[in-house]
Structure 1
């Protein structure tokens, strides 16, 4: 790395690109190293064009004079398409902390800064599938990523970054996986099988609803039939029995009236 590179207040490794090596059906982590080359504390903040796709820890922080810190950038699982053009980018903003600044509340300090005080650097994201060609490209492109004039230094920077990424994955239980990573075609087949199962469940659900409606219709017809009404009206015979004495009483009254009339007529 050239001497002029250290003259910058903040140096970033890698300098221009953040490489994420798949498979992408699990979290993929890469490490960004930030170094403060000044005699004053430096405050930084990291932004991305796709905040829902990445987890950055920490996304804001401070670096003591002539010290460095590492930022872990985790790419969330997704279905990778080689034909899809990736436009994700990261921006590292930094500023030398004022002498009277309160470094205990960095968010408050950041809001009080003027935009023209900030220094920014942009990095683009590169997605790669693990292959012999990809590994060869990573090795040959180490000098460009490291931003240095010597190729050996650039290669060592890439190797160190890869080793840190592996250690981060092993130490973080949330990002590690006990299962052997599956390749992309297996993931797509699993997605297709899940879609077919969902379709089958929807069809069976529709059939069950039709059968339920049919049973409700049959129950309604059964309850509304005349035979059911006769079964459900046990008091009808009782009413008939109550009507028989009234009939005989009416006949008796009519006979009495007729007998009275005949009696008067003959008398």
Structure 2
């Protein structure tokens, strides 16, 4: 006699996916639906019972009803290079009319009466988590760096403004110094001109014999005039 096909409809049908990070309990839900007109008894088994907590791990599903099984993966150190070999199996059996002792039903069930479905466990890290997992702890530090940068920017702006102010003052002082230099140069030129004129005048007087004899000539002329008038008065 061939093995009975699973009467329950499983959702998901083949893989139980657990999404990290796995530093806390991660839960995957498995929905079992009974599409038949008979009651179905089920059990959920795993190859790694210490790593998972299953609630409920067994039960009874009425015709047309469904049950959600929570499979809770316990925290562990995730290694992306390690492939998961964990598997789950959902066994089910049709409940005969009038049966009430489910434990006895499972104990007395023949292998050909059992239906089962196997599921593979898949561990996955979301792509965004894979990108963030490494710098996740650095987000706070990046925030502090941003704050530090903003503080540095304010300090830089203050230093730039102070530098501009100092440059303006230096430019003003240089302009005043240039004006003072120009004024001093003009004064020196004027003094040089005055001194050169004085020296040239003195040189001319010292070099002109006529200028030196002019007082004597005047005295002689005056004496002649005086003698002429005195002589004329006496006569």
Give the TM-score of the pair, scaled to structure 1: 0.46
**SS of match in other structure, 1:109:** helix
Distance of 2:76 and 2:58 partners within structure 1? 26
Specify the alignment match of 1:93 in structure 2: 91
Question: Which structure 2 residue ranges, 5 or more long, are not aligned?
Answer: 138-235
2:225 is matched with: none
Question: What corresponds to 2:117 in structure 1?
Answer: 121
* 1:78 aligned residue: 76
1:15 maps to 13
2:40 paired residue number: 42
Alignment-derived partner of residue 146 in structure 2: none
1:31: which partner in 2?
Answer: 29
1:116-160 alpha-carbon deviations (Å, 9 max, x no partner) = 2000100100001122499xxxxxxxxxxxxxxxxxxxxxxxxxx
C-alpha displacement of 1:100 = 2.7
| Structure 1 residue 45, shift from structure 2 partner | 0.4
Task: Tell me how far apart the structure 2 counterparts of residues 183 and 106 of structure 1 sit (CA, whole Å).
Answer: 47
State the 1:38 CA deviation: 0.7
Using the TM superposition, give the Cα deviation of residue 20 of structure 1 relative to its aligned residue in structure 2, in angstroms. Answer: 0.2
Alpha carbons of structure 1 residues 185 and 86: separation in structure 2 relative to 1, 3 Å: farther
Q: What corresponds to 1:65 in structure 2? A: 63
Contact 2:6 2:92 in 1 (8 A): no
> 1:88, 1:184 → 2: CA distance?
27
* Residue 109 (structure 1) aligned with residue 113 (structure 2): no
Runs of 5+ in structure 1 lacking a partner?
1-6, 135-181, 188-267
2:116 aligned counterpart, secondary structure: strand
- CA–CA distance in 1 between the matches of 2:112 and 2:74? 33
5 Å-filtered alignment, 1:1-267, equals 9-102=7-100, 105-132=101-128, 183=133
Q: How far apart in 2 are the matches of 1:42 and 1:25?
A: 36
Deviation at 1:186, TM superposition (A): 8.3
Distance 2:125 2:8 in 1: 31
Query: 1:107 & 1:185 partners in 2: Cα distance?
Result: 52
Change (3 A) 1:61 1:31: same
Measured at CA, do residues 133 and 52 of structure 1 come closer, stay the same or move farther in structure 2, by a change above 3 Å?
closer
Deviation at 1:101, TM superposition (A): 1.2
| Contact 1:19-1:128 within 8 A present in 2 as well | yes
Q: Shift of residue 109 of structure 1?
A: 2.3
Distance 1:185 1:27 in 2: 22
Native 8 Å contact 1:80 1:184 kept in 2: no
